[in-house]
Amino acid sequence: MIHQRLVSGAILGICCAIAGCQLSSPSSQGDGLKIGTLLPITGDLAQYGTPMQETADLLVKTVNACDGVLGQPVTLVSADTQTDPAQGTQAMTKLVEADQVVGVVGAASSASSSAAIPIAVRGQVVQISPASTSPVFTERAEKGEFKGFWARTAPPDTFQSQALAQLATQKGFKSVAILAINNDYGNGLVAAFIPAFKALGGTVVNEARPTFYDPNTSTFDTEVNQVFKGQPDAVLLVSYPETGSLILKSAQELGFLDGKTALITTDGMKEANIADLVGQNSQGEYIVSGMLGTAPSAGGPALEAFQQQYQDAFKREPSVFDPNTWDATALLVLAAEAAKDTTGTGIRDQLQVVANAPGEEVTDVCQGLALLREGKTINYQGASGTVDLNPQGDVTGNYDVWTIDEQGKLTVSDTIEITGSDSATTE
């Protein structure tokens, strides 16, 4: 059996390398549902990836404690993207070809998801990202590239850009300069923010040439000087904690964080320990005190129960994308149960059925599985939101407005509701 599996995997790899063939969906019916995670356990996004992995593990343990899927335990195989698209491609290849999973939760970064999704589609594996927010995925889905094998439980940055523009306008910022990571996440968010902010009367001072930085760079003095030199009302930083903290340290050392220019940022920087990562000034004050940001808010019907279960398991509060990870994993197992089939095509065909109306609304994954076993239809209501999926695999949602207080604590101060149109309202 071991030799047969190795030979089979090798043949599949050779077939696709030489002929570009489409892999048939692994048929694990009778062997139990096998799914994978493709998350950044190391690298720039490791602060998010590790708790996301633990969340997926917790969901699978919960499901297996209530009789699994189709009466058999669910198997979860993890893979590390290292927050690097090339590594993510290799990891997805292993999950699809060697491990023969039929569904994948991940990736986190849009760049890693973008690199991995062709492998998933070719292998007829459903990929659901809890955190990849680039608008590019919507465009690619509309072109039919994903064949229904893609979805995400975090809304696209076309919506976050509207929330950012609304926030900047509310705070009276007339001019904004942009400094962003040069990847799918940064490019997509910047491209959507500029017209959204201009539509509200704002000016992006470096609109013609927004400042982008290489994710592998470790010094940022040149980029920091470019965006702060004209003293705009605010600098929009689109970044991740590791590189973002270095950028903010550089801005402090160069004397730009003196109160004349405000800082606004995004979900990529919403890390509970971001104030400690950036550090304090010579007066002992947190450098990022007063920084504002937006992030998809977890406000789904199942949020309270999820938070309690997470707290009981890990003795801490969930991280920003943990509710989205819970829901992504839940959708895979519910779709497999609904399909009575543990193949990628079976999950794909039932994904929108279990996520959307009509059907009995359920917030508990075990309750949903029980109803499906009875032959009933369900409408899963998640921890991150209602997770209603449109034909492109997108969800809409609300955005938290978060800030860092004088004690270095990250707090949520407001919510901006995005309807998916050009309008935004504040709650």
* pLDDT tens-digit map of 96-107: 999 999 999 999
Co-location of 162 and 242 in the same domain: yes
- Letter string b/e over residues 183-202, b meaning 16 or more CB atoms within 10 A of that residue's CB: bbbbbbbbbbbbebbeeeeb
Amino acid at 103: G
- The answer on pLDDT for 11 being more than 90 is no
Mind listing the pLDDT tens digit for each residue in 256-315? 998 889 999 999 999 999 999 999 999 999 999 999 999 988 789 999 999 999 999 999
Which residues 6+ apart lie within 8 Å of 255 measured at CB?
none
Co-location of 89 and 148 in the same domain: yes
The rounded distance, in Å, linking the Cα atoms of 227 and 156 is: 25
The rounded distance, in Å, linking the Cα atoms of 45 and 47 is: 5
| DSSP-derived secondary structure for 49-84 | HHHHHHHHHHHHHHHHHTT-BTTB--EEEEEE-TT-
Residue 389 within a domain: no
Contact 107, 129 (CB under 8 A): yes
Mind listing the pLDDT tens digit for each residue in 258-269? 888 999 999 999
- If pLDDT is split at 50, 70 and 90, which confidence band does 19 have? very low
In whole numbers, what is the pLDDT of the chain averaged over residues? 91
Residue 393 within a domain: no
Contact 161, 421 (CB under 8 A): no
Residue 135 within a domain: yes
Co-location of 225 and 255 in the same domain: yes
Co-location of 282 and 421 in the same domain: yes
SS3 374: coil
Q: Any idea what the Cα angle at residue 352 is, between residues 346 and 353, rounded to 5°? A: 80
Q: What is the DSSP letter of 359?
A: S
Percentage of residues of the chain with pLDDT beyond 90: 84
- The answer on pLDDT for 4 being more than 90 is no
Residue 311 within a domain: yes
Co-location of 269 and 358 in the same domain: no
Co-location of 23 and 148 in the same domain: yes
Return the pLDDT at 2: 33
Higher pLDDT, 297 or 175: 175
- The answer on pLDDT for 28 being more than 80 is no
Co-location of 268 and 406 in the same domain: yes
Contact 261, 234 (CB under 8 A): yes
The CA–CA distances, whole Å, from 166 to 130, 199, 227, 260, 400 equal 24, 10, 21, 21, 12
Q: How many residues does the chain have?
A: 427
- The answer on pLDDT for 396 being more than 80 is no
Q: What is the DSSP letter of 29?
A: T
Contact 197, 204 (CB under 8 A): yes
Q: What is the DSSP letter of 237?
A: E
Contact 265, 244 (CB under 8 A): yes
Co-location of 324 and 191 in the same domain: no
Which residue is associated with the tokens 């921890």? Answer: 383
Contact 155, 386 (CB under 8 A): no
Contact 345, 310 (CB under 8 A): no
Alpha-carbon Rg for the chain, nearest whole angstrom, is 22
Closest CA to 273 of 379, 151, 396, 407: 407
Give the mean pLDDT of 50-76. Answer: 98
Residue 295 within a domain: no
| DSSP-derived secondary structure for 116-162 | HHHHHHHTT-EEEESS---THHHHHHHTTSSTT-EEESS--HHHHHH
Is the backbone of residue 393 left (phi > 0), alpha (psi -120 to 50) or beta? left
- The answer on pLDDT for 343 being more than 60 is yes
Contact 73, 64 (CB under 8 A): yes
Co-location of 103 and 221 in the same domain: no
Contact 34, 342 (CB under 8 A): yes
Return the pLDDT at 419: 57
In DSSP terms, 212 is beta-bridged to 180
| DSSP-derived secondary structure for 291-311 | -EEEEE----TTHHHHHHHHH
Co-location of 418 and 319 in the same domain: no
Residue 385 within a domain: no
Residue 313 within a domain: yes
- The total number of structural domains in the chain stands at 2
Structural domain boundaries, residue 366:
2-154+300-380
The CA–CA distances, whole Å, from 185 to 26, 215, 287, 305 equal 31, 11, 25, 31
- If pLDDT is split at 50, 70 and 90, which confidence band does 30 have? low
Return the pLDDT at 9: 39
Return the pLDDT at 394: 95
Strand 292-296 relative to strand 211-213: parallel, antiparallel, unpaired?
unpaired
Q: Which two tokens stand for residue 240?
A: 């991740």
Residue 388 within a domain: no
Co-location of 90 and 178 in the same domain: no
User: For the ranges 5-9, 152-156, 295-299, 372-376, which has the lowest average pLDDT?
Assistant: 5-9
CATH number at residue 199: 3.40.50.2300
Co-location of 375 and 402 in the same domain: no
Return the pLDDT at 290: 96
